[in-house]
Amino acid sequence: MAKPLRVLLVEDSENDAMLVLGELRADGFEPAWERVETAGDMGAALDGGSWDVILSDVQMPGFSGFEALSLWKQSGIDIPFIIVSGTVGEDVAVRAMKQGASDYLLKGQLRRLPAAIERELREAADRRERRNVEEQLRHLQKLDSIGRLAGGVAHDFNNLLSAIIGFADLTLDGLHKDDPFRSYVEEIRRAGDRAAALTRQLLAFSRKQLVVPKVLDLNSIVGGMDRLLRRVIGEDVDLVTSLAPGLGRVKADPGQIEQVLMNLATNARDAMPKGGRLTIETADVDLDEAYARRHGAVRPGPHVMLAVTDTGCGMDQETQSHLFEPFFTTKGEGHGTGLGLATAYGIVKQSAGNIWVYSEPGRGATFKIYLPRVDAPLDTQAPAGAPSRPLLQGSETILVAEDEPQVRHLTCHVLKMHGYTVLEARHGGEAVAVAEAHRDVIHLLLSDVVMPEMDGRELAERLAVSRPETRVLFLSGYASNAIVHHGVLDAGIAFLQKPFTPAALAGKVREVLDAPAGERPRKR
């Protein structure tokens, strides 16, 4: 079978050009070619064509091989540049190689040309693959750095939101329904909820969101969302599903996977303002070593693929390079937060998977998600019983360790309102001292996870030595490594996510105090 080859010939002699092309055809190549002999023609050819190799003479009237070599280097195109000349002195050859030429040979030795081209094409492909992997690794490192920043911002912001939402709720509880100020406080409360939703998305991107992973069938997830997705994308977009029978299982948080699908479908709809087709596909795939080498963060092995493809406007490479960064958006001002794809990225990575995008301007886009296949039975959810409203009042003693003053003030105020005796501490060290000075029972330690000098986990373990009966409830604005592994809460740990409402705090405290005795948090 003939091997296609796109050749740019920098040659003033048509006969010599035919000799070169004849040699290539004799060796099994099928060249598509263009011959140029001026700087202007070469520049236009480099701008307007896609070439596999440049073959250049050295001496031509008004234009030299070294000028051609300079134009090629300025273009930044990584393809072989081979000197093919009637006479090449040693000094000329050395100069050409120093300036970047891939090889040089005499026109009288053209039989060596096909082998030289094949060698240089392999080396150019290897270089492109290395650059591609290095670029992907740099991109992943950049996203990880942004993720650490986003996680820290979300943690601090959730502390502020706890105070805003909490005190807004307390104020609303104290206002009559006809009070003229009630509507103002309700607006504050709604703004707090919207801000809390943004921080949840930032936490998902930074992989600091607590997850409840289950063994899932992705076909069931897609099938269960069919109606909702059709409403989201609208009647002018056709939804097509291609779900592989007998699909393998994955382990992920079902709510988060639904969120990923919803975000991808919403973006696809926005990319098809005049309608189009949205295709959702699942398949079992085995990612081999070669694929893993081309995609820096991928581990080879059995995976389940979830692909979402649209027929929309597509994206160029520059847009794709920023696609998963938080707050990056191609939509107009006031249309979207730029967190949808960032959230999807964080969720997939937290589920030990990978997400890639394939797109070209005018040719739509495909997002492919690969999640590791697991050999485990599907998790089934027990039917929920009738919810019971807990009695929130209590009389126990609670030690509160919280370094953020506003959150500490809110927490202590709410607990006292519900009848508890409250001991306050500004950080872990002070909590240890308060516990040592208190002679009576401390029924519950309510501690922030992230505090200076001593984190909440260490504080709980310190108190467990002298007060094994004390139960523990952790608070945090994000999933700290002190109590989670890969975003999954350690067994036997009670946790309340910030920002929380006064009712949620009172309910969780009562739940922990009333629960049957269980294991204390274990040392790692």
Task: Give the CB-side neighbour count of residue 372, counting CA atoms within 13 A.
Answer: 17
Structure confidence at residue 476 as a pLDDT band (50, 70, 90): confident
- C-alpha distances (whole Å) from 281 to each of 245, 309, 310, 352, 369 are 11, 8, 12, 20, 10
Q: What is the pLDDT of residue 384?
A: 45
pLDDT, position 332: 55
Q: What was the pLDDT predicted at 204?
A: 60
Enumerate the β-bridge partners of residue 9. Answer: 35, 55
Query: How much is the pLDDT for 382?
Result: 47
Q: Which of 187-196, 254-263, 275-284 has the highest mean pLDDT?
A: 275-284
Structure confidence at residue 473 (pLDDT):
93
Q: Which two tokens stand for residue 82?
A: 């081979």
Supply the pLDDT for residue 440. Answer: 93
Q: Residue 196 has what pLDDT?
A: 79
pLDDT confidence of 346, banded at 50, 70, 90?
confident
What's the pLDDT at 386?
A: 43
pLDDT average, residue stretch 129-134: 73
How many helices and strands, by DSSP H and E, does the chain display?
Answer: 16, 21
Among residues 385, 152, 381, the alpha carbon closest in space to that of 253 is found at 381
Look up residue 332 and give its two tokens: 């107009």
pLDDT of residue 422: 95
Give the pLDDT band of residue 9 (cuts 50, 70, 90): very high
Inform me whether the pLDDT recorded for 149 exceeds 90: no
CB atoms within 10 A of CB 207: 23
Instruction: Give the model's confidence band at 337: pLDDT under 50 very low, under 70 low, under 90 confident, else very high.
Output: low
pLDDT tens digits for 456-471?
889 999 999 999 999 9
In the numeric block, the tokens 């942004």 are attached to 146
What local confidence, expressed as pLDDT, does residue 523 receive? 37
Mean pLDDT, range 199-222, rounded to an integer: 74
Q: Are strands 276-287 and 237-242 parallel, antiparallel or unpaired?
A: parallel
State pLDDT tens for residues 363-408: 899 999 999 999 988 876 544 444 444 567 889 999 999 998 999 9
Q: For the chain, give the mean pLDDT.
A: 84
Domains detected in the chain: 3-126 (3.40.50.2300), 133-205 (1.10.287.130), 214-374 (3.30.565.10), 397-514 (3.40.50.2300)
Over residues 414-457, the pLDDT tens digits come to 999 999 999 999 999 999 999 999 999 999 999 988 888 888 88
Q: For 144-159, what is the mean pLDDT? A: 71
The band of 110, judged by pLDDT with boundaries at 50, 70 and 90, is: confident
Q: Which of left, alpha, beta for 275 (phi over 0: left; psi -120 to 50: alpha)?
A: left
Q: What percent of the chain has pLDDT over 90?
A: 36
